[in-house]
Structure 1
Amino acid sequence: MSLEIVVGRSRQVEGKLLELGATGRGLNEKATSIEQLLGQHLTRRIRFLATIRNKALHDPDFDVTDELLTSFLSAAESVLGQLQQLLQTAKPTSEKKPTSENQRTHQSGNAPVGLSLADAWRDTSTTGKVGIVAGVLALGALYVKGEIEDWW
């Protein structure tokens, strides 16, 4: 019975992520695809749900205890509520109209400019920040060595 509950709630979360424009194969990939919209805290909660769901489905020795099920359901209800709030306040990028220079987006519609970029950086996980810095350093090293030109 608990497996059906875990899978059912996970599907509901996945459906809300799709409504928000997420892409990918599972909860983790979908959450990652719109992590800037979700923020770090909500993304972590979704990853918790995905971990429990995956273990319940694929690990024959994993036991969904009453305590774990209660935690899962609490997290799922919280996530579903927050995703519903995002759905009510967020419109697809193509429908949004910039109201000021700080709210404009690049033509791709993905990267916010101005103050929103600072918010996106703050919401990026530590691992994501390390990846960004490492990538910039690697490109800089290739540029200095003369292996690439105009990398920016």
Structure 2
Amino acid sequence: LAGGMPLSGVVGNAQIMDAPAPGGLGGTYAGNPLAIAAAHAVLNIIDKEALCERAQDLGRRLTATLEEAKSWCPALAEVRGVGSMIAAEFFSPESGEPSADIAQKIQKKALEQGLLLLTCGQYGNVIRFLYPLTIPEAQFSSALMILQNVTHL
């Protein structure tokens, strides 16, 4: 949130948070004025550029693209996420088991077309999407087209 500056925060139930004396609860980076100024500037940009709304819009578009891909990619078992934090999970259509091989094949095909994807998850069968909310429209549209291409296995 602070653009890479060290910043921490603590949140909790009021009864618990009010228990320590004022100043008695903090983190390693508590009260760093430079980090607080950076975080404040980031929050201003988020508001000014409507990045929360953009996260929702981009996430809806990505989710729609992935949901559509299910019609031709039986290995694409689940699409989930909130806003622009989206994940696609791949399973072997034959065995029904998580398939890191399929996720990695899609990742490799995407990289060959210029799209960097991250595979992750307990079984390595999840592709996680976390792009910058300031991504140019042409670049995002290109990424969606690449996803459509590479999910045709």
TM range, normalised to the smaller chain? Answer: 0.3 to 0.5
Higher Cα Rg, which structure: 2
TM-score, structure 1 normalization? 0.33
Normalising by structure 2, what TM-score? 0.33
Greater share of residues in strand: 2
Q: Which has a greater percent of helix?
A: 1
